[in-house]
Amino acid sequence: MRPGLGLLTSIILVFVSFFVIISIINLIEDKVFASIHLDISAGIASGDITSNSAVLWSKSNSTSRMNIEYSLDPNFSNYTHNNILVDHTSEYSGHYKLTGLMPNSTYYYKIWFSDTYNPSIVSQKLVGKFKTAPLTDDEETVTFAVGGDLGGQGYCRKTNIGYHIFSVIKEINPDFFVANGDMIYADDTCPHNGPKGIKGWKNIPGLYPSVLNSSVDWNNISDVRPIYLAHWDYNKADKHYQNLYSNIPIYSQPDDHEVADNYDGNSEFYKEPFKNRTGYKNIVYEGLRSFFIYSPLESYTEEPHRIYRSFNWGLYADIFLLDSHQYRSASDIPETSLSNKTLLGKPQLEWLKKSVINSNATWKIILNDVPVTIPHCFTDQETNQSRCDNWATDNKSKATFTKERTDFMSYLDKSNIKNVIFIVTDVHHPANVLVDHDFDGDGDKLKFYELLSGPLSAYPNIPQPLDPTINATYLYRDSGFFNFGLYEIKKHSDNKTHLISHVYTGDGLIRPGSKLDIVAE
C-alpha cells in the first residue's frame, strides 16, 4: 500500500458516512412529515357578508397554511388564490377577508391546509359558496333564517341524527343565517344518556366538563381554555352544521352560554351561583376568545372582542347585531337615577341610536341576544333579592334594566322611527309580540314587533307572561319543539314592502299560526 492511502480511505469513508447519515435523516424527516395528517374537522364557513366583501373561515389541527381559492364560476375555471399562516396563537383557525367582490353575486370557494415545511402534505379540500349583499339602493328580495340555543340541557348531537335542523335550513336556502346566541353551552355537558327524563335519546357524548364544574380552576388558563375549545369542536363536528355553514353565509353573535349563564362583563365575581369564586374574568375572556376563534367574522383592531355591528341588504333591510352581556352592569344592582345601570353599555347604545336613525333601509332589524318584552326575573338564593336579566321587567324587582330600554324606545318614539323589528332567541320558545306604547309621553305611540324562535336543540320552554309595564301583546306563542325563524322581505303587488315571518319545525314544517305578514309604514 502506498503511503497516504490509509488516510485517503479514511477521508472517503468519513464523507460516505456523512452522506449516508444525511440521507437517513432526510428519510426520517420525510416519514415524519408524511405522518402529519392535516384535517379540517370543523368544516368551513363564510360570514359578515357585505356587497363587496366576505370573511372566510376554517380550522386546521396543526401549524399550516390555509389556502383559499374563490371564483364566480362553480367550476373554478378562473379563480383567485391566497393563503395565510395559522398556528397555535389562533388555535390553528384562519380568518381571511375577501374584498373587491361583486354585489348580489354567488361566489364559490375552496379551502385546504398545507404543511409549512412540506407543501405536498395537504388536508382535504372543502368547497363552499355564499351570496354577497345587494347595493344599498337595490330593491332585492331578502330571505334569512335565525336560530339559537344549541346543545343545552343534554339535547346534544343525537346518535345517528345529529343536529339535523341545520340541513333543513340549508334546503330552504336563505340568503344568510343568523346564529343568534347560545351556540354552545359551555356551562353544561353532553352525556351519552341525553336529556334527563327523555327516553330513547342517546347523544354522541361530549368528553368535556362544564366550565362551572368545581374541579375547574378559573385562575388557571390551561384549565379553562380547553373546555371552551372542546365545546365548540363538539358542535362544529356535526355534519349538518357543516353543511349549512359551508353553503349559507353566517352572521354570528353570542348570548350568555358561550361564557356562562347570565354572565356580565363588568363584575369581579360570577353572580350565579359562585359569588366568591375567583378567576371570573378569565372565563369571560376565554369564552369570548373561543367565540371569535370559531366564528366567521372580522375582529376589530381597536376592540378585538367587539360583537355589535351592522350590515346592509339593499333598500329593504339594515340588520344590527347587539351584545347584551359583555358591557352590562351586574344584574343585582338596583336601578336608580345614580346607578347608571346598563345592559348595552353607553358606546354601544349611542352607536345603535345613531345607526338606526341614519338607516335609509325600509326595515330596521335588530338582532338582540335577549328579549325586550319577555321578563327573565328571578330571586337570588343567597341574597333573597329579585333581579331581571334583560330589558323587560315583571314589575316586582327593583334590579332591572328598564331605564335603558325606556331611553332607547323614547328615542325611537321621539324620532318617529318606523318599521323596527327585534328578532331574538334565548327563551326557548317561538312567539310573535306586538308593542304599541307611548314611550316618550307625547301621545303618539311607538309600534314595533319582537319575533322569537328557538331552541334549535335545547330544552323547550313554555311561554311566560309579557312585561306588564308596556302595551305588549302576544300575536302567536307556541312551545314543545325545536324550531327556527324564517323571514322574507319583498315588495308585493300592492307596491308595499312586506316582512313575512314563519316558524319552522325541525322537520321542515311551517308551524300553524306562526305566519306574520307586516306591511311597512
Among 1-15, 160-174, 197-211, 267-281, the minimum mean pLDDT is found in 1-15
- Residue 383: pLDDT band with limits 50, 70, 90: low
- Residues 449, 472 contacting (CB under 8 angstroms): no
pLDDT of residue 269: 86
pLDDT tens column, 386-402: 889 999 999 998 899 99
pLDDT at 91 over 60: yes
Query: pLDDT at position 122, please?
Result: 96
Secondary structure of residue 352 in the 3-state scheme: helix
Average pLDDT value for residue range 297-302:
81
478 pLDDT higher than 50: yes
pLDDT: which is higher, 275 or 38: 38
CA distance 294 to 285: 15
Structural contact between residues 126 and 111, judged by C-beta atoms closer than 8 angstroms: yes
Burial grade of 103 (CB within 10 A; 0-12, 13-18, 19 or more) = middle
pLDDT at 207: 92
Share of the chain above pLDDT 70, in %: 92
Longest CA–CA span in the chain (Å) reads 119
Residue 34 pLDDT more than 60?
A: no
Q: Do 376 and 388 meet the contact criterion of CB atoms below 8 Å apart? A: yes
User: What is the CATH topology of the domain spanning 142-519?
Assistant: Purple Acid Phosphatase; chain A, domain 2 (3.60.21)
Burial class (CB in 10 A: 0-12, 13-18, 19+), 28: exposed
CA pair distance 450, 220, nearest whole angstrom: 41
Query: Residue 46: what pLDDT?
Result: 98
Look at residue 299 in the predicted model and tell me its pLDDT: 79
Rounded Cα–Cα distance for residues 82 and 61 (Å): 20
Tell me, what's the pLDDT at 381?
67
Closest CA to 306 of 286, 327, 283: 327
10 Å CB burial of residue 488 (0-12, 13-18, 19+) is: middle
DSSP 56-77: EEEE-SSSEEEEEEEESSTT-S
CATH of region 44-131: 2.60.40.380
Q: Residues 86-96: what's their mean pLDDT?
A: 97
Could you tell me which of 213, 214, 203 has the C-alpha nearest to residue 152?
A: 203
Straight-line distance from the first to the last Cα atom of the chain, in angstroms, rounded to the nearest whole number: 109
Spell out where 440-510 has E strands: 446-452, 472-477, 483-491, 497-505
Single out the residue of 401, 410, 472, 470 nearest to residue 439, CA to CA.
410
Cβ neighbours for 451, distance < 8 A, ≥ 6 positions apart? 421, 422, 423, 424, 431, 432, 433, 485, 487, 501, 516
Provide the pLDDT for residue 268. Answer: 86
> Does the pLDDT of residue 42 top 60, yes or no?
yes
Residue among 416, 419, 433 at smallest CA distance from 489: 419
User: pLDDT tens-digit profile of 218-267?
Assistant: 999 999 999 999 999 999 999 999 999 999 999 999 999 999 999 999 88
* Cell numbers at 152, concatenated: 343545552
pLDDT tens per residue across span 304-327:
899 999 999 999 999 999 999 999
Question: In terms of Cα–Cα distance, which of 160, 180, 178, 159 is closest to 169?
Answer: 178
Question: Residue 28 has what pLDDT?
Answer: 41
Is it the case that residue 21 has pLDDT exceeding 50? no
- The average confidence (pLDDT) of the chain is 92
C-alpha cell at 415: 324620532
CATH 3.60.21.70 region(s) of the chain? 142-519
107 sits in which H/E element: strand 106-115
Mean pLDDT of 153-162: 97
pLDDT confidence bin for 205, thresholds 50/70/90? very high
Checking if the pLDDT of 413 tops 60, the result is yes
Q: Are 457 and 155 in contact (CB under 8 A)?
A: yes
**Confidence category of residue 5, pLDDT binned at 50, 70, 90:** very low
Residue 145 has pLDDT above 70, yes or no: yes
List phi, psi (to 5°) of 485.
-100, 140
Inform me whether the pLDDT recorded for 470 exceeds 80.
Answer: yes
Say what the pLDDT of residue 274 is: 75
Pairwise CA distance, residues 474 & 409, whole Å: 19
pLDDT at 301: 73
- On whether the CB atoms of residues 509 and 172 are closer than 8 A, the answer is no
Give the residue from 257, 288, 500 showing the smallest Cα distance to 370: 257
Query: How large is the average pLDDT for residues 438-466?
Result: 97
pLDDT band at 382 (very low <50, low <70, confident <90, very high): low
Question: By percentage, how much of the chain surpasses pLDDT 90?
Answer: 84
pLDDT band for position 24 (50/70/90)?
Answer: very low
Confidence of residue 9 (pLDDT cuts 50, 70, 90): low
Which strand (E) or helix (H) includes residue 132?
none
Q: Give ranges for CATH 2.60.40.380 in the chain.
A: 44-131
Q: Locate all alpha helices (DSSP H) within 365-470, ordered by sequence.
A: 402-414
C-alpha cell at 518: 307586516
Give yes or no for residue 378 having a pLDDT over 80.
yes
Q: Which residue has the higher pLDDT, 197 or 1?
A: 197
420: three-class secondary structure by DSSP: strand
Beta bridge partners of 490: 498
Q: Output DSSP code: residue 276.
A: T
User: Is residue 185 packed enough to be buried (19+ CB in 10 Å), middle (13-18) or exposed (0-12)?
Assistant: buried
- Name the burial class of residue 24, with classes exposed (0-12), middle (13-18) and buried (19+) by CB atoms within 10 angstroms of its CB: exposed
